[in-house]
Amino acid sequence: MAITGQVPRGLMGTDAFQEVPLIDITRPITKFNYLVLDVEDIPRIVEEAFLLATSGRLGLVLIDIPRDIQKELVVPNWNKPIMLPGNASRLPKLPEKAHLEEIVRLISVSKRSVVYAGEGCMDCSEELRWFVGFTGIPVASTLMGLGIFPCTDDLSLHMLGMHGTILANYAVDRSDLLLAFGVRFDDRVTGKVQAFTINAIIGHIDIDPTEIGKNKKPHLSICTDVKLALEGINTILEKNAAEQPTAENKRGKGTKFNDNVSAWIEEIDEQKEKYPPSYRTFGGAIPPRYAIQLLDELTNGNAIICTGVGQHQM
């Protein structure tokens, strides 16, 4: 939430000292923005702004308040109704069970499934870990999705895309089912989008309807909160496993999916050994990766390392 100051209403449009047309400038980069022209509107606008910012896909909302309004006195009316009649209709609905069951069916017939997880999974790390542990499907993360699934897990492929790992890009390219959870198929991930996962069925789940089909057309899409979708999928998986139990193996929780993914995991493990994450040294220089690795080892993995723009990605 950004609350900004503006010149007095009487000076707006006159190129007054420090006048900046914030509403016009920020319109393309905010979810919504407000110019307060009546002090009585502040309670309603603030309530609307927080509702917009925190519902659906999270996003920035700006409130611009002219200086003369900032100096006024008012008895706020907190019972004034908000004026967003269409907002509820734009919010993502609960996922349909039939769509979730189709995701489960696709997983059951897939031989080389991969989860492509992004920032939209930020609030459902636990559900994603359960799903991956149950199905044995490996996970490739976007830059904004790193940390949602533990990178120390055997099923973590780390980051994919232009600056991602060879392993993640190999697995996604070879996949026959790509489960895209909370992602937008950014060009840094896909490269030439027409050639991205051309042999895979794509299931896309995202809270923002404008992202579905924008860059890459999925075969199955569900517009909903990824957390709600994963909760529903996990429930179906658990129910199916209870009805048709099978023998356990080293991957997953003893479901029929294990037989499907075991050969795929072996192929990925071979690639992991062939192309392990590495870095080059130059004379006596200290590569940033080496410094971070050493800090991690010396602190038993408890160091919190903050980096500048660029180094954390590349």
- Give the residue range(s) of CATH 3.40.50.1220 domains in the chain: 97-274
Q: Which among 157, 138, 153, 99 has a CA at the least distance from the CA of 260?
A: 138
Q: Residue 155, SS3?
A: coil
Residue 246 binned pLDDT confidence (cut-offs 50, 70, 90): low
User: What is residue 77's predicted lDDT score, i.e. its pLDDT?
Assistant: 87
Q: Residue 9, SS3?
A: helix
Q: What is the DSSP letter of 121?
A: G
Helix, strand, coil tally for the chain in percent (to 5): 40, 15, 45
Superfamily, domain 97-274: TPP-binding domain (3.40.50.1220)
Residue 310 and residue 314: Cα distance in Å, rounded?
6
**From its phi and psi, is residue 44 left (phi > 0), alpha (psi between -120 and 50) or beta?**
alpha
Q: What is the CA radius of gyration of the chain?
A: 24
Question: In terms of pLDDT, which residue wins out, 62 or 249?
Answer: 62
> What pLDDT digit, counting tens, does each position of 191-219 carry?
999 999 999 999 999 999 999 999 999 99
User: What is residue 258's predicted lDDT score, i.e. its pLDDT?
Assistant: 57
- Using CA atoms, how far residue 125 sits from 15, 18, 23, 239, 305, in Å, is 49, 45, 36, 21, 21
Q: What is the DSSP letter of 240?
A: H
**Res. 179: pLDDT tops 70:** yes
Sheet holding 201-206, edge to edge: 156-159, 139-141, 113-117, 177-181, 201-206, 220-223
Work out the average pLDDT over 279-294. Answer: 84
> What pLDDT digit, counting tens, does each position of 109-143 carry?
999 999 999 999 999 999 999 999 999 999 999 99
- Give the residue range(s) of CATH 3.40.50.970 domains in the chain: 2-90
User: What is residue 280's predicted lDDT score, i.e. its pLDDT?
Assistant: 79
- Tell me the CATH number for domain 2-90: 3.40.50.970
Q: Residue 221, SS3?
A: strand
User: What is residue 192's predicted lDDT score, i.e. its pLDDT?
Assistant: 92
Residue 90 phi/psi, 5-degree rounding, is -90, -15
